[in-house]
C-alpha cells in the first residue's frame, strides 16, 4: 500500500518539470525585454531632455544677446526709435528678434506713475533655437525690459532767454510802460521803455522842497530885528551856539533836524511836538554853520516831516529856518515850513516857502498868513541855488515881515488873530497833507512790516536804462516802497522768436510724434489737459484769436497763431503748464510756458480770479484793462515777457488832486485806522489790494523755452546717445 501510493505521487512531478522550465524561460525573456525596453525609453527620454535643455539654453542665450544689443543700441545716436526692430543670428541654429515699443503696458491711468508713460519704452527680445537634426523642433525664450528716459539735456536757449531767467518781468522794446495802481510785482523788473508809474492817482499837487533844511523853529510871538540879528550872528561867529540862541528866545517848537541817518522821528528840542520823517533823510553832513550837528535832505519828491496839527492862536508868529536849495524845481512853490489844509494858499494858516511868481522869474521868499482879517501873501528877496540861507517870517499883529540872512527884504500890513484848525497840519519840506501817492505807498510798506497785509506795488528791484525811470518814480520806489532801482544797458531785441504754432512735437530723438490739437476761438466751462497717451505736454494751438470765458482750466501750453490775440474775459480761469522731468544734474525742474503768443494778451473786465502758473510770452502787448475794483484780477506765478506792458487805471478811483488831498487830510484827522490803504478801503470804498500780482513760482521751477523743431530732450554734449534706466525685467 505504501509502494503504490508512492508510485502514484511521483508521476505528476515527472510530467511538470518541462513545462515549468519553459515558463521560467519565458518569464526571464519577458523580464529581459522589459528591462531592455525600459532602458531604451530612459535613454530616449534622456536624449530628448538633453536636446530640449540645449535648445532652451540656446534660445535664452539668443534672447539675452538680443536684449544686450538692444540696450546698447538705445543708448546710441544710431537707435532708430520706437516702432523699430533688431534681428540677428547666433551660430547656425539660434537667432533673436527685438522690438521697441513706446510706453509701458503696466501703467494704466490709475497708476501713480502714469504721467511717466511717454518717457518709457518696452523692449522685447525673443530668442529662438532650432534643432539642427529636425527643424520642426525648436525652443524660444522671451525677455521684456521696460526702460525710462533719464533726461540729460535740452536744446540750447537763445542767449536773451538766459537773461530772462534773472527777471520776473521782462519788457524789451523802447515803448512806453504804464503801471497804474494797485498792482504787486515781486522780483527783478527789467524794462526798456519809459516808465509811467501811478500817473493817474493818487494825484499830487504839493510843494516839495529840493535841498537841505536845518534848525526849523516856530514861535507864538514876534521876534525883533535884534533877535534875528543875534541868531544870525550866532551862526556866523565861530564857537557860538545857535541852538542856545534860539532856545533863549522861547520857541513853541524847535526841530534841529540833526538826527542820525535812518532816524524816523524828528525830535522837538522843546519836547512839544516831535515830527515824523517821510522820505526826508536826516544825518546829512551838509550844514549851514559849524555848530550844526547835521541837516535833513529833501529830494524834491514827496519828502516831508509831519509835525502834527498843533495851533498858534495868538496875534503874533515867527517862523525861521536855514535852507539850501539843491535845484529849483519847475513848480510855482517850494515849501519850507507851515500849517495848511492843502496846497491852495487860501487854505494856508501860516507858511514860509519859496516862490517863482515874481515878474522877473527869480526865486523869492514867500509868506502866507491867514487871520481873522483874511489871508495875506508876501514875497521878497532874491535866491540862488547851492548856498545856505537864513530865512524868517515875523507877524506882529500889524505887519508881516520877511527876512533873509537877518535882513528884512519885504513887509506888508496885516492884522487879526491867527486861526485854529484841527485838520490843518504842520509840515516841513512840503505842504500838508503831503503826497497822497507817496503816503499810500509808504503805508503799504508799513502794513507789510506790521503783518497787516502786503499790498506793496514792488517788492524787489526795478532795472531800466538811464533816464527811462523818471526821478519822481525813482523816489517813490526807493523812499516809499523801499525797493531798489538799478541802471542797465540798452537791449531792445526780442529775447525769443515767436513763430507759427507747431502741429506736432517729440519728447526725445526716436520718440513718438504727438499731434497738437487745435482749439476753438472761444473756451467756456471746459478743461484742456495733458494726456500721457496722446498729448503728454498738453500743447494746444489756435488758428486765430481766442477768448477765455468763465470756468476755463488749462493744464498745458497754448500756442497762438500769427495775428491772433488772447482775451481773458471770464471768472475762474485756472492755467498751469506742465513741469518737465528733472534734467540730470539740475536741482530745479523746468516748466513750459503757459502762453506763447505773437500778439496782444488782454485781461478785460469780467476776468476775475484768474490764476496762471508759468511764463507768459507775448510778442506784442500785455494789457491789464481799465476796470472797476476787482472786476478784473489776475495772479501770475511766473514770468511776464512782453514787448509792451500797459496796466490801466481803476475806473472807480478819482483822479483829481483835490479829492485825494481831502482823503489825506481826512485820514490824518482820525485815529481809528493807522494805515491810509486800509482807511481808503474801510471809509472810501476803494480797494488798494493788488489786482495784478506777478510773483515767482513757489515751486522754484525754471521757465523753459523749447525749440519745437527739435525734441524736448536731446543727447547731451559729449555723449554718444540718450540715457535710460531699466525699470523692470521679465523673462519667460
Could you read off the pLDDT of 455-497 as tens digits, one per residue? 999 999 999 999 999 998 999 999 999 999 999 999 999 999 9
91 or 574, which is more confident: 574
As given in the structure block, the three cell numbers for residue 275 are 515830527
Task: State the angle between helix axes of 436-449 and 676-683 in degrees (0 to 180), rounded to the nearest 10.
Answer: 100
How high is the pLDDT of residue 39? Answer: 53
pLDDT in tens, 632-685: 999 999 999 999 999 999 999 999 988 998 999 999 989 999 999 999 999 999
How high is the pLDDT of residue 5? Answer: 38
How high is the pLDDT of residue 361? Answer: 65
Residue 125 · residue 147 · CB < 8 Å: no
How high is the pLDDT of residue 7? Answer: 41
- The angle at the Cα of 85, spanning 81 to 91, to the nearest 5 degrees, equals 140
How high is the pLDDT of residue 611? Answer: 96
Q: Is the pLDDT of residue 10 over 50?
A: no
Q: Is the pLDDT of residue 239 over 80?
A: no
As given in the structure block, the three cell numbers for residue 443 are 503805508
196 or 5, which is more confident: 196
**Alpha-carbon span 593 to 153, nearest angstrom:** 18
Q: Is the pLDDT of residue 188 over 50?
A: yes
The percent of residues above 90 in pLDDT, for the chain, comes to: 82
- Based on its alpha-carbon atoms, the radius of gyration of the chain, rounded to whole angstroms, reads 46
Q: Specify the CATH number of the domain 210-434.
A: 2.60.120.200
- The angle at the Cα of 343, spanning 339 to 348, to the nearest 5 degrees, equals 35
Q: Is the pLDDT of residue 367 over 80?
A: yes
How high is the pLDDT of residue 640? Answer: 98
Q: Is the pLDDT of residue 270 over 90?
A: yes
Segment 66-81 mean pLDDT: 97
As given in the structure block, the three cell numbers for residue 58 are 540656446
Q: How many residues does the chain have?
A: 732
Q: What is the largest CA-CA distance in the chain?
A: 195
How high is the pLDDT of residue 577? Answer: 97
How high is the pLDDT of residue 382? Answer: 87
- The angle at the Cα of 595, spanning 592 to 600, to the nearest 5 degrees, equals 155
Segment 513-523 mean pLDDT: 97
The confidence band for 40, taking pLDDT boundaries of 50, 70 and 90, is low
**What DSSP character marks residue 713?**
B
Q: Is the pLDDT of residue 268 over 60?
A: yes
Residue 114 · residue 532 · CB < 8 Å: yes
Q: Is the pLDDT of residue 616 over 60?
A: yes
3-class DSSP state of 712:
coil
Segment 334-355 mean pLDDT: 89
104 Cβ contact list (under 8 Å, min separation 6): 116, 117, 120, 122, 146, 727, 728
CATH 2.60.120.200 domain locations along the chain: 210-434
Segment 160-173 mean pLDDT: 96
DSSP percent split of the chain into helix, strand, coil, nearest 5: 20, 35, 45
Segment 614-641 mean pLDDT: 97
Q: Is the pLDDT of residue 21 over 80?
A: no
**Alpha-carbon span 621 to 643, nearest angstrom:** 6
Q: How far is CA 185 from CA 231, 476, 635, 690, in A?
A: 51, 15, 10, 9
The confidence band for 48, taking pLDDT boundaries of 50, 70 and 90, is low
The confidence band for 45, taking pLDDT boundaries of 50, 70 and 90, is low
529 Cβ contact list (under 8 Å, min separation 6): 538, 553, 554, 555, 556
Average pLDDT, the chain: 92
Segment 287-294 mean pLDDT: 90
Q: Is the pLDDT of residue 24 over 90?
A: no
**What DSSP character marks residue 227?**
H
Q: How far is CA 317 from CA 218, 248, 593, 642, 700, in A?
A: 7, 16, 67, 58, 62
Q: Is the pLDDT of residue 590 over 80?
A: yes
> Which residue, chain included where needed, has cell 504787486?
184
pLDDT in tens, 567-577: 999 999 999 99
How high is the pLDDT of residue 705? Answer: 97
Q: Is the pLDDT of residue 33 over 90?
A: no
The pTM of this model reads 0.86
- The angle at the Cα of 499, spanning 497 to 503, to the nearest 5 degrees, equals 140
3-class DSSP state of 497:
coil
Exposed/middle/buried for residue 199 (C-beta within 10 Å: 0-12, 13-18, 19+): middle
Amino acid at each position: 500500500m505504501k509502494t503504490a501510493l508512492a508510485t502514484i505521487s511521483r508521476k505528476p512531478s515527472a510530467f511538470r518539470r518541462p513545462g515549468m522550465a519553459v515558463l521560467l524561460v519565458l518569464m526571464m525573456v519577458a523580464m529581459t525585454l522589459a528591462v531592455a525596453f525600459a532602458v531604451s525609453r530612459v535613454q530616449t527620454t534622456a536624449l530628448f531632455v538633453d536636446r530640449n535643455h540645449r535648445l532652451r539654453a540656446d534660445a535664452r542665450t539668443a534672447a539675452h544677446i538680443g536684449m544686450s544689443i538692444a540696450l546698447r543700441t538705445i543708448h546710441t545716436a544710431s537707435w532708430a526709435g520706437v516702432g523699430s526692430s533688431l534681428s540677428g543670428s547666433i551660430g547656425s541654429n539660434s537667432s533673436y528678434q527685438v522690438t521697441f515699443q513706446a510706453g509701458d503696458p503696466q501703467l494704466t491711468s490709475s497708476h501713480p506713475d502714469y504721467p511717466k508713460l511717454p518717457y518709457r519704452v518696452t523692449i522685447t527680445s525673443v530668442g529662438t533655437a532650432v534643432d539642427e537634426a529636425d527643424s520642426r523642433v525648436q525652443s524660444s525664450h522671451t525677455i521684456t525690459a521696460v526702460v525710462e528716459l533719464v533726461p540729460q539735456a535740452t536744446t540750447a536757449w537763445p542767449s536773451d532767454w538766459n537773461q530772462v531767467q534773472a527777471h520776473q518781468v521782462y519788457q524789451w522794446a523802447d515803448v512806453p510802460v504804464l503801471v497804474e495802481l494797485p498792482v504787486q510785482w515781486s522780483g527783478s523788473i527789467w524794462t526798456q521803455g519809459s516808465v509811467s508809474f501811478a500817473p493817474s492817482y493818487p494825484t499830487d499837487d504839493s510843494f516839495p522842497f529840493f535841498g537841505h533844511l536845518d534848525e526849523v523853529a516856530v514861535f507864538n510871538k514876534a521876534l525883533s530885528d535884534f533877535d534875528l540879528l543875534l541868531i544870525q550872528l550866532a551862526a556866523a561867529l565861530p564857537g557860538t551856539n545857535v541852538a542856545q540862541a534860539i532856545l533863549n528866545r522861547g520857541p513853541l517848537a524847535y526841530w534841529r533836524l540833526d538826527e542820525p541817518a535812518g532816524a524816523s522821528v524828528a525830535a522837538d528840542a522843546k519836547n512839544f511836538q516831535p515830527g515824523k520823517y517821510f522820505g526826508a533823510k536826516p544825518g546829512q553832513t551838509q550844514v549851514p554853520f559849524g555848530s550844526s550837528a547835521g541837516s535833513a535832505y529833501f529830494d524834491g519828491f514827496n519828502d516831508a516831516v509831519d509835525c502834527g496839527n498843533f495851533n498858534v492862536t495868538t496875534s503874533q508868529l515867527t517862523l525861521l529856518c536855514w535852507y539850501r536849495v539843491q535845484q529849483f524845481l519847475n513848480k510855482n512853490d517850494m515849501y519850507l515850513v507851515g500849517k495848511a489844509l492843502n496846497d491852495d494858499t487860501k487854505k494856508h494858516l501860516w507858511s514860509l516857502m519859496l516862490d517863482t511868481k515874481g515878474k522877473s522869474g527869480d526865486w523869492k521868499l514867500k509868506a502866507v498868513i491867514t487871520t481873522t482879517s483874511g489871508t495875506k501873501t508876501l514875497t521878497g528877496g532874491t535866491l540862488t541855488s547851492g548856498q545856505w540861507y537864513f530865512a524868517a517870517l515875523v507877524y506882529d499883529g500889524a505887519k508881516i515881515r520877511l527876512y533873509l540872512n537877518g535882513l528884512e527884504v519885504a513887509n506888508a500890513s496885516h492884522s487879526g488873530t491867527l486861526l485854529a484848525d484841527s485838520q490843518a497840519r504842520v509840515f516841513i519840506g512840503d505842504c500838508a497833507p503831503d503826497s497822497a501817492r507817496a503816503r499810500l505807498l509808504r503805508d503799504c510798506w508799513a502794513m507789510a512790516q506790521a503783518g497787516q497785509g502786503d499790498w506793496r506795488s514792488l517788492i524787489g528791484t526795478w532795472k531800466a536804462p538811464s533816464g527811462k525811470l523818471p526821478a519822481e518814480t525813482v523816489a517813490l520806489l526807493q523812499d516809499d516802497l523801499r525797493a531798489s532801482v538799478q541802471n542797465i544797458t540798452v537791449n531792445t531785441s526780442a529775447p525769443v522768436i515767436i513763430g507759427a504754432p507747431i502741429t506736432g512735437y517729440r519728447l526725445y530723438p526716436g520718440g513718438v510724434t504727438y499731434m497738437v490739437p487745435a482749439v476753438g476761438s472761444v473756451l467756456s466751462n471746459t478743461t484742456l489737459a495733458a494726456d500721457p497717451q496722446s498729448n503728454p505736454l498738453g500743447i494746444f494751438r489756435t488758428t486765430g484769436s481766442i477768448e477765455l470765458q468763465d470756468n476755463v482750466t488749462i493744464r498745458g501750453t497754448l500756442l497762438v497763431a500769427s495775428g491772433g490775440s488772447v482775451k481773458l474775459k471770464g471768472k475762474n480761469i485756472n492755467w498751469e503748464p506742465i513741469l518737465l522731468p528733472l534734467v540730470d544734474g539740475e536741482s530745479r525742474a523746468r516748466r513750459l510756458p503757459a502762453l506763447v503768443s505773437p500778439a496782444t494778451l488782454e485781461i478785460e473786465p469780467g476776468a476775475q480770479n484768474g490764476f496762471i502758473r508759468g511764463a507768459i510770452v507775448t510778442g506784442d502787448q500785455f494789457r491789464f484793462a481799465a476796470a472797476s475794483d476787482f472786476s478784473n484780477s489776475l495772479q501770475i506765478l511766473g514770468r511776464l515777457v512782453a514787448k509792451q506792458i500797459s496796466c490801466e487805471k481803476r475806473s472807480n478811483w478819482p483822479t483829481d488832486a483835490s479829492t485825494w488831498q481831502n482823503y489825506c487830510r481826512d485820514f490824518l484827522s482820525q485815529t481809528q485806522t493807522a494805515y491810509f490803504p486800509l482807511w481808503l478801503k474801510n471809509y472810501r470804498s476803494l480797494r488798494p489790494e493788488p489786482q495784478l500780482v506777478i510773483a515767482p513760482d513757489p515751486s522754484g521751477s525754471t521757465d523753459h523755452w523749447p525749440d519745437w523743431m527739435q525734441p524736448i530732450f536731446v543727447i547731451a554734449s559729449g555723449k554718444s546717445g540718450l540715457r535710460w534706466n531699466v525699470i523692470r525685467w521679465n523673462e519667460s
